[in-house]
């Protein structure tokens, strides 16, 4: 358990070569799904030919939604059943695509200011440090690195 430390959560959307196309501002006390809903990112994928990949915690399409978006997430095994071979292969291929997102986040955290404790910072006191600007600068610097050396070859194909 971490003491006297709050974590901030942000969502990031990247192309399959690692280029960052969108990031939210850091939010306190919101998990990924709640941040997805709050930012209303789903509407940006309405009627598009492309889709979005997510981890198992996301629900891109709910029963009450009026329109569906193309959103893929891994299959979960139920208590009494195992995954089929097709579902295992799907999860493996999905993780091969999603690893680019995790690598991009890792590159952003290499700037170290986002991966550790920011001393003397408080949401309550309204300190001089603007965490939104710090995240934007780190994302922009990471974007420059990725443009020079993409995380994945443009000719990548799943086997």
pLDDT digits (tens, 9 = 90+) for 29-79: 788 888 888 888 888 888 888 889 888 888 888 888 888 899 899 998 888
Instruction: Using alpha carbons, select from 68, 66, 60, 151 the residue that is nearest to residue 108.
Output: 151
**In the structure, what pLDDT confidence band is assigned to residue 119 with cuts at 50, 70 and 90?**
low
Give dist(CA 12, CA 117) in Å, integer. 21
pLDDT higher than threshold 60 for residue 3:
no
> How many angstroms separate the first and last alpha carbons of the chain?
41
pLDDT higher than threshold 60 for residue 28:
yes
Q: What percent of the chain has pLDDT over 90?
A: 21
pLDDT higher than threshold 90 for residue 10:
no
Q: Residue 83 region, left (φ>0) first, then alpha (ψ -120 to 50), else beta?
A: beta
- Let me know: does 34 contact 59? Beta carbons within 8 Å: no
Residue 90: predicted pLDDT: 93
pLDDT digits (tens, 9 = 90+) for 82-101: 999 999 999 999 999 899 99
Domain chopping of the chain, boundaries:
8-148
């Amino acid at each position: 358990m971490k003491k006297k430390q709050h974590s901030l959560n942000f969502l990031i959307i990247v192309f399959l070569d690692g280029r960052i196309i969108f990031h939210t501002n850091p939010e306190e006390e919101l998990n990924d799904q709640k941040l997805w809903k709050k930012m209303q990112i789903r509407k940006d994928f309405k009627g598009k030919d492309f889709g979005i990949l997510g981890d198992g915690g996301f629900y891109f399409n709910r029963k009450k939604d009026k329109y569906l978006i193309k959103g893929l997430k891994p299959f979960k095994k139920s208590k009494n059943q195992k995954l089929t071979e097709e579902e295992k292969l799907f999860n493996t291929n999905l993780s091969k695509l999603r690893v680019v997102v995790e690598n991009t986040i890792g590159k952003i955290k290499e700037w170290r200011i986002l991966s550790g404790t920011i001393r003397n910072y408080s949401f309550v006191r309204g300190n001089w440090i603007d965490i939104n600007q710090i995240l934007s600068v780190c994302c922009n610097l990471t974007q420059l690195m990725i443009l020079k050396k993409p995380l994945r070859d443009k000719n990548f194909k799943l086997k």
